[in-house]
């Protein structure tokens, strides 16, 4: 494989304005780091990282923020970065990744960064290390992967470096720089002062989009993201930016039993990277987790938090309960994928309880693979769906709840909507399902609302479907409950459509 020059890592803001640092063929970062100013996305405070032929590790330090896209021209203010940023992103050759910076001041319009250097300036913690495969068909030793450590470590700045960075962006915006000298002095002094006494700044509010719901779905705001670009990066002078990815804000909804998700007004601490829980009795409270939560200990509680999965994408469950450790409780929490893709589910596993949990923008919100599960008073909605899904030739098989195997499963008091396959899908793919209670839920959308298949494991035992309200917006007309079985006969009473009519079970 022939590697073309140049080899560099770039950081891009809005309006196709980028800065880059070269990386030697042996993976050595540039000896003289690049100081640059790039405009931020006006709504999200995000930047885009790109890799062009680079391999090895380099550092991007966020030094501070301007309240102008043309600092030096406007007599604007500069605020040094005080956020505790420690994020690792791995990018294959020609890949790009949009990253939303935490605690960006509301007034910020541009960011001052330093690109290049080694990892000596940052911690070697278990920060988010996203794996990235090459996208140019290369494999093995020829796979070009750059690891970028994004941090807020302050670096010594000279006036010459700052002046050059501001002049470059001023040239790009065709704007004169009447306030250049005073802005340069302000930047150098503020960054130096921040080393001794950082002053917190109000963070930028996160954008939200209003979702229109029908009668069976709670009214709420929910957030949107876009899939990051994987287009090849052009020359370092002006690579085209990837689509911006807004950081989802907490989304407050209501199930039949009341509010779901993070209680309004809860202060959240941002946590970067996957959280592997190995200590029995761990309590996660008031966290904003950019990573997965992988539970490998008993009696874990997660409450008043939002779990987004890593910003750089993932497969499988945002919450991983596949170890089946007993006593996992998730309460007043939101689970939603920042990076949307055909592989991401909300929670997967068994031996867990969900109470007042808001899960959205994943393939399956709840994917059950064993015994002892409770899903109560929660809101499961707005599934991801891909017509071109690499896992299924006929598009995504997305469900609000999928049950592959398990005994003692209770699904009660929830709102489930906007799936494409089913609200509750029982497949018995892994084994027998029994003692299944489905009660007091509100369903809509999907091919059919409740779809039960026996497959090769025979009739389900002790199934009850009681006092649920079904919507009529299903792909198959009036398909509330369908059972592919000659033997499964659930206890069935008190169920109605939203208009009061009584739905019947369809057998096939």
Closest CA relative to residue 94, chosen from 274, 239, 299: 239
Confidence band for 121, pLDDT divided at 50, 70 and 90: very low
Q: For residues 160 and 293, state if they share a domain.
A: no
Q: Is position 180 within any domain? A: yes
Amino acid 92: pLDDT: 80
DSSP track, 16-75? T-EEEEEB-TTSPBPSSPEEEEEEPPTTT-EEEEEEES--EEEEEEEEEEESSSSBTTB-
Confidence band for 67, pLDDT divided at 50, 70 and 90: confident
Q: For residues 185 and 262, state if they share a domain.
A: no
DSSP track, 361-384? SSS-SEEEESS-EEEES-EEE---
Closest CA relative to residue 12, chosen from 339, 225, 243, 340: 243
Q: Is position 335 within any domain? A: yes
Amino acid 228: pLDDT: 28
Average pLDDT over residues 16-31: 72
The answer, yes or no, to whether residue 323 has pLDDT greater than 90, is yes
How many C-beta atoms surround the C-beta of residue 265 within 10 A?
A: 5
Q: Is position 3 within any domain? A: no
Q: Is position 469 within any domain? A: yes
Question: Which position has the token pair 């002094």?
Answer: 189
Q: For residues 267 and 190, state if they share a domain.
A: no
Amino acid 192: pLDDT: 57
Q: Is position 211 within any domain? A: no
6 upstream amide cis, omega within 30 of 0:
yes
Amino acid 497: pLDDT: 95
Amino acid 392: pLDDT: 66
181 Rama class: left (phi>0) / alpha (psi -120 to 50) / beta: alpha
Asked if 70 and 111 touch (Cβ cutoff 8 Å), the reply is no
Q: For residues 65 and 186, state if they share a domain.
A: yes
**DSSP secondary structure letter of residue 393:** T
Average pLDDT over residues 212-226: 29
Confidence band for 488, pLDDT divided at 50, 70 and 90: very high
Q: For residues 270 and 161, state if they share a domain.
A: no
3 state SS of 460: coil
Q: For residues 187 and 288, state if they share a domain.
A: no
Question: Which position has the token pair 């069935």?
Answer: 492
78-87, 202-211, 463-472, range with the lowest pLDDT: 202-211
- CATH number reported for the structural domain that contains residue 300 in this entry: 2.160.20.10
Alpha carbon distance 347, 68 (integer Å): 42
Percentage with pLDDT > 70 across the chain: 71
Q: For residues 135 and 264, state if they share a domain.
A: no
Amino acid 172: pLDDT: 54
Amino acid 17: pLDDT: 75
Q: For residues 263 and 333, state if they share a domain.
A: yes
Q: Is position 203 within any domain? A: no
3 state SS of 143: coil
The answer, yes or no, to whether residue 451 has pLDDT greater than 50, is yes
Amino acid 139: pLDDT: 44
Q: For residues 349 and 428, state if they share a domain.
A: yes
Per-residue pLDDT tens over the stretch 225-273: 222 222 333 333 333 333 333 344 444 445 555 689 999 889 999 888 8
| Range(s) of the domain holding residue 73 | 8-194
72 Rama class: left (phi>0) / alpha (psi -120 to 50) / beta: left
Amino acid 232: pLDDT: 34
Q: For residues 261 and 179, state if they share a domain.
A: no
Per-residue burial over 454-487, b = 16 or more CB atoms within 10 Å of its CB, e = otherwise: beeeebbeebebbebbbbbebeeeebbbbbebee
Per-residue pLDDT tens over the stretch 139-167: 444 467 777 877 766 566 777 888 877 77
Alpha carbon distance 470, 468 (integer Å): 6
| pTM for this model (two decimals) | 0.55
Q: For residues 13 and 92, state if they share a domain.
A: yes
The last residue of a domain, from among 169, 194, 219:
194
Average pLDDT over residues 415-444: 94
Angstrom distances, CA of residue 475 to CA of 142, 400, 418, 443: 48, 15, 11, 13
Confidence band for 190, pLDDT divided at 50, 70 and 90: low
Asked if 126 and 273 touch (Cβ cutoff 8 Å), the reply is yes
The last residue of a domain, from among 194, 212, 228:
194
Amino acid 148: pLDDT: 80
Burial of 264 (0-12, 13-18, 19+ CB in 10 A): exposed
Question: Which position has the token pair 């803001």?
Answer: 13
Per-residue pLDDT tens over the stretch 109-118: 888 888 876 5
The last residue of a domain, from among 174, 194, 214:
194
Amino acid 173: pLDDT: 55
Amino acid 78: pLDDT: 79
Q: Is position 246 within any domain? A: no
Q: For residues 144 and 272, state if they share a domain.
A: no
Tally of domains within the chain = 2
Helix (H) or strand (E) holding 160: helix 159-172
Q: Is position 248 within any domain? A: no
Alpha carbon distance 487, 285 (integer Å): 45
């Amino acid at each position: 494989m022939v590697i073309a020059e140049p080899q560099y890592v770039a950081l891009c803001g809005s309006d196709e304005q980028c800065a880059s640092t070269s990386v030697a063929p042996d993976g050595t970062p540039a000896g003289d780091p690049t100081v640059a100013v790039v405009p931020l996305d006006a709504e999200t405070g995000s930047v885009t990282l790109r890799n062009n032929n680079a391999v090895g590790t380099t550092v991007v330090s966020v030094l501070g923020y301007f309240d102008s896209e043309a600092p030096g021209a406007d007599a604007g203010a500069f605020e040094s970065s005080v956020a505790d940023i420690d994020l690792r992103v791995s990018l294959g050759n020609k890949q790009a990744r949009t990253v939303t910076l935490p605690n960006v001041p509301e007034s910020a319009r541009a960011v001052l960064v330093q690109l290049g250097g080694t990892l000596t300036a940052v911690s070697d913690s278990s920060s988010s290390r996203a794996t990235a495969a090459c996208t140019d068909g290369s494999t093995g030793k020829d796979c070009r992967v750059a690891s970028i450590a994004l941090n807020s470590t302050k670096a010594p700045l000279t006036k010459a470096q700052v002046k050059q960075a501001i002049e470059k962006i001023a040239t790009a915006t065709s704007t004169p720089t009447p306030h250049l000298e005073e802005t340069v002095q302000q930047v150098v002094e503020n960054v130096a002062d921040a080393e001794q006494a950082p002053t917190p700044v109000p963070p930028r509010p996160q954008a939200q989009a209003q979702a229109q719901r029908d009668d069976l779905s709670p009214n709420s705001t929910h957030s949107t993201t876009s899939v990051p670009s994987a287009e090849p990066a052009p020359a370092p002078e002006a690579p085209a930016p990837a689509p911006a990815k807004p950081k989802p804000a907490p989304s407050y909804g209501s199930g039949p039993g009341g509010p779901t998700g993070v209680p309004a007004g809860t202060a959240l601490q941002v946590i970067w990277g996957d959280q592997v829980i190995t200590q029995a009795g761990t309590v996660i409270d008031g966290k904003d987790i950019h990573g997965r939560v992988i539970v490998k200990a008993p009696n874990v509680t997660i409450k008043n938090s939002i779990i987004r999965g890593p910003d750089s994408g993932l497969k499988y469950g945002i919450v991983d309960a596949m170890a089946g450790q007993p006593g996992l409780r998730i309460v007043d929490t939101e689970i939603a994928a920042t990076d949307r893709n055909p592989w991401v589910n909300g929670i997967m596993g068994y031996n867990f309880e969900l109470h007042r949990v808001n899960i959205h923008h994943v393939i399956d919100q709840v994917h059950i693979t064993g015994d002892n599960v409770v899903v109560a008073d929660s809101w499961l909605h707005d599934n991801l769906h891909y017509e071109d899904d690499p896992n299924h030739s006929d598009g995504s098989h997305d469900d609000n709840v999928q049950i592959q195997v398990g005994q003692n499963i209770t699904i009660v008091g929830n709102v489930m909507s906007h799936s494409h396959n089913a609200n509750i899908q029982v497949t018995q793919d892994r084994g027998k399902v029994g003692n299944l209670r489905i009660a007091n839920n509100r369903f809509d959308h999907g091919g059919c609302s409740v779809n039960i298949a026996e497959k090769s494991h025979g009739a389900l035992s002790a199934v009850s479907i009681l006092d649920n309200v079904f919507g009529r917006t299903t792909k198959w007309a009036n398909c509330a409950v369908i059972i592919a079985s000659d033997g499964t006969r659930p206890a069935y009473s008190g169920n109605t459509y939203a208009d009061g009519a009584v739905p019947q079970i369809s057998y096939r």
